[in-house]
Amino acid sequence: MVISPESLLESVKGKSILAMRNRIFEISRDLSPEQTFNLSQVLYQYPDLHGAMIGTLLAGHVSYLVPEAMAFLRETVSTHENLHVQDCLAKALDHYCLNQGFDRALPVLEAWSRDPRPFARRASAEAPRPWARKEYFKNRPETAIHFLSALKGDESHYVRFSVGHALAEISRDFPDLVSKELQRWNTALAPVKSTYVFASHNLHTTMGKVFSVKGGHEAAAKS
């Protein structure tokens, strides 16, 4: 089956990332993994932003089968300046994790979390969201909390935002565990404080008490 990059681009314009992913599933069924990756690279170079977005999603769809696709995502896509493309990168990494299984994918997430490229680190926190809805982490919430907390002082606002909101999501199901973790944080450090604000958002109502930045810092100082 011959697929025109132009016709594929036209078919996804104005659609959500979820709708784009569904279109990618349809396309990739008729192509080999290598053909899918080649098409992703062609599309990624298009000046139309949709090209970079679906090129990223296509690479993610075969990333667990084609190592070069995984390297492309981490080394090339993570340097793209547009946040919509970075949202597609997170979805692409999520597809890799779901196909590998999170038990096997966790070392890959950990490697991405230490990457010098900020958007690679962001993807490692963003891809499994909502973490507590993934069966692996639902049964191991401490693993998710520990992973995310290691990024609480990241220099990138984008990383801290994703980390904070991921922890806030987890706190809906495991408020005591997230509360215990946040009380260890030293919020006198500005980057940690900003992550704390995002992460503690749901605890104001879930725990039925005020969860202040000052209180978190004092608890950390005493621990």
pLDDT at 29: 85
Query: pLDDT for 103-136, tens place per residue?
Result: 999 999 999 999 999 999 999 999 999 999 999 9
Report H helices in 29-126: 33-44, 49-61, 67-75, 83-100, 102-113, 118-126
Q: Which CATH superfamily is domain 129-223 in?
A: ARM repeat domains (1.25.40.290)
Segments making up each domain of the chain, as ranges? 1-120, 129-223
Q: What angle do CA 88, 89, 95 make, to 5 degrees?
A: 90
Q: Which residue has the higher pLDDT, 166 or 204?
A: 166
**At residue 100, does pLDDT exceed 50?**
yes
Query: pLDDT for 28-51, tens place per residue?
Result: 888 999 999 999 999 999 999 999
Query: pLDDT for 48-87, tens place per residue?
Result: 999 999 999 999 999 999 999 999 999 999 999 999 999 9
Alpha-carbon gap, residue 105 to 84, rounded angstroms: 24
pLDDT at 149: 98
**At residue 186, does pLDDT exceed 70?**
yes
Alpha-carbon gap, residue 193 to 123, rounded angstroms: 21
